[in-house]
Structure formats: structure tokens, C-alpha cells
Amino acid sequence: MRTILRAAVLTAGLIGAASAQADTLVGSGASFPFPIYSAWFKDFSSNNDMGVRVDYQSKGSGAGINDLNNKVVDYAGSDAAMTDEEIAKVEGGVVLLPMTAGEIVIAYNLKGVDQLKLSREAYCQIFLGNVEKWNDPIVAKTNAGVKLPDTKITTVVRSDSSGTTFNFTNHLADICPDFKAGPGAGKSVQWPGVPNIVKAPKNDGVTATIKQTPGAIGYIEYGYAKLTKTPTAMLENKAGNFVEAGSEAGAAALASASGDFDGYMRAFVTDPSGDQSYPMATFTWMLFYKQYDSKEKVEAIKAMLEYCLTKGQDAADKYGYIPLPEAVITKVRAEAEKIGAAGM
């Protein structure tokens, strides 16, 4: 994980200057897929026969969309897709391609607690600020035999505009009327003004804050928990079963959405059905202009996309992500044909 985070720092200074180079593709955006994007782009950059280098700066979905609008990147990443209003702002049009998928987990730091089960009621009330201690009856009733301490809960949330927040809050708004009426859903929300909420930037910032704070809880992408060995709770799904995050549970969650893409390849799973479905899973998208200034850049983009849809998918589970179903890969390839260059 340390190597991945160092790569983000090295990439940060490349935005803008590199985007004009035909042999370099520069992107920015969601931190949710950064671990797998970092691995993909390092491998592709080292092994493609075109001499193309791909860079990506993890800075949050909202910031990536802004960079795309401001034309300072060649592509962007977002796990909140784009709204109709955001799409309309991109001069010349934009192509949205789901490239991988992942689960949002609730990570915690609780010494001596190796397994934690959180009901839908429990995690809704924790993130509303209504459950302040770990031994609260709402938490205790699904954790019989677990010694929960009389410790104050520190709730860690994102400080930046985030696709992870978008998907997490949409899930909470779907299953919890009080949350829908309170903070609501979005890339940024007004969290309850209670003293036990701490804000941190990006998935890696939230992960680090949880690991450094006894009694902490927060939401992160599963890959970050897997890479850093951060404990995560088993969550109650729509069927009433407690499910642990993993490739099979995540794939089950996404199965119902594979046929529901709209004209911009957007599909969201806020509360999947299925006995073994993990309750929070999402696609994450790469965003491209419909038209580029050179044929060479388009060829580089198409080569990078084909790598991600083939060899890249084979590595998904290793990094804590869900491989795209073949039916989705076919749709992505067809949608990518909309990317072209002036004169092509």
C-alpha cells in the first residue's frame, strides 16, 4: 500500500504538462479504484509496444470530473459516474465506461474484536450519530458473545467530493428513511454535527485515520481494507443475512445491474437482492472525451482500454475488486467505439 501511495505523489505533478504529449495519457479522479488502476497502468506502461505511459492521480471523483471539464487531463475516473448536468458541460461530449467494480466496506478499529456484525439498523444509526458507544444495545444484539467495550465511537467520513460517499450515502438513504431525510445522498453531504465525526481525504486517508484511531469506524473501498489488513464488519443484506465482503458476494450484488445500463452506461446498485449479495457494491467508470486531437492518442486509449478489459480483469480479485461480467465487457467495447479523433 505504501508503494501505491508513493506512486500517487509522484504522479501529482504531471497533470497538465503531460496531457499534451502523444505518448502519455494523464488522468485523475476517484480514489476508490486507485489500487487496481495503479497496478494496471504500471504494467501496461511497461509492456505495451506503443511506448505509451499512463498516469493517474488519485484525488476524488468530483475533482476528476472538474479536471475533465477543464481539459487538463486526457481521461478521468469516477465511481459516481456523471450526472446529466455534468455530462452537458463537457464540450464535444463524453464517453463513460465502467471498467471495474468494488464493494464499500465498513472498517473498524476495535482491539480484541475479530468479528463484528452490523445490522442495517446499527450502521444507519451509527452514521446518523445516534449510536455513540460500541456496547450500545443496537450493536450488542447482533454480536452475542463478543465483548464490546464501553468506548466512544469515532466515525470517520470523507472530507472531499467522493464517489465512495455517493454510493455509501445512496445505500443508506435507500434503507434508512431517517438518513434520507437527514444527510441525504451525494458526493458530499452534511454529516450530523456531533463531536465524534472526523473527516479525512480520499479512501487512503480514511483508512489511515481508522487504523490510527482506537474505537473508529468508517467506510472505504474493500481493496484498501484488503491491502492494509483493516478489519471490516459483516453487514446485514436485504435478505436479512450477514455477509462478508469478497469477490463472490460482490459479484452476486452486481448481477442484477448488468442489464440495467442507460444510454451513458450508468447503472447503480443501492440495495441488491439475493441471499448472498453484499449490500454495497458499485461499478467505477473511466471518463473520456468523444474526440481527441490526434489519431495516435485515440489508438493509445483504445490499447489501454483493451488491456484493462482483458489482462486487467484477471487481476481484479487480487486487489480486492470484482471482475466485470462478460456481458458488460461486450457493452464497454461497443461504447468505446464512440471515442475518436478529428478527421478519423
| Burial status of residue 325 (CB atoms within 10 A of its CB: 0-12, 13-18, 19 or more) | middle
Using one digit for the tens of pLDDT, what is the confidence trace for 136-179? 999 999 999 999 999 999 999 999 999 999 999 999 999 999 99
C-alpha cell at 31: 480514489
Residue 293: which H helix or E strand, with range? none
Strand partners for 77: 29, 286
Residues of the chain with CATH 3.40.190.10: 2-100+283-341, 104-255
| Burial status of residue 134 (CB atoms within 10 A of its CB: 0-12, 13-18, 19 or more) | buried
C-alpha cell at 40: 494496471
Q: Following DSSP, what letter does each residue of 265-283 receive, concatenated?
A: S----SS--STT--S-EEE
Q: Are 201 and 61 within 8 A, CB to CB? A: no
- Show the low-confidence residues of the chain (pLDDT under 70): 1-22, 194-195, 256-259, 343-344
Q: Are 329 and 280 within 8 A, CB to CB? A: no
* Cα distances (Å, whole numbers) of residue 99 to 70, 102, 146, 316, 317: 23, 11, 39, 10, 14
C-alpha cell at 52: 505509451
The per-residue pLDDT for 344 is 58
The per-residue pLDDT for 11 is 37
Alpha helices for the chain (secondary structure H):
2-12, 34-47, 61-69, 84-88, 120-127, 137-140, 163-175, 177-181, 202-212, 222-228, 247-255, 295-309, 311-314, 326-336
* Strand 53-58 relative to strand 94-108, pairing: unpaired
CATH number for region 104-255: 3.40.190.10
The per-residue pLDDT for 255 is 82
The per-residue pLDDT for 194 is 67
CATH number for region 2-100+283-341: 3.40.190.10
Using one digit for the tens of pLDDT, what is the confidence trace for 239-265? 999 999 998 999 999 886 656 899 999
Q: Helices 163-175 and 120-127, interaxial angle, to 10°?
A: 120
The per-residue pLDDT for 259 is 60
The per-residue pLDDT for 256 is 67
Helix (H, G, I), strand (E, B) or coil at 181: helix
Give the 3-state DSSP-derived string for 109-168, with helices as H, strands as E and coil as C: CCCCCCCCEECHHHHHHHHCCCCCECCCHHHHCCCCCCCCCCCECEEEEECCCCHHHHHH
**Which is nearest to 37 in space by CA: 317, 312, 324?**
312
Distance from the Cα of residue 340 to its chain's centroid: 27
Helix (H, G, I), strand (E, B) or coil at 245: coil
The per-residue pLDDT for 23 is 85
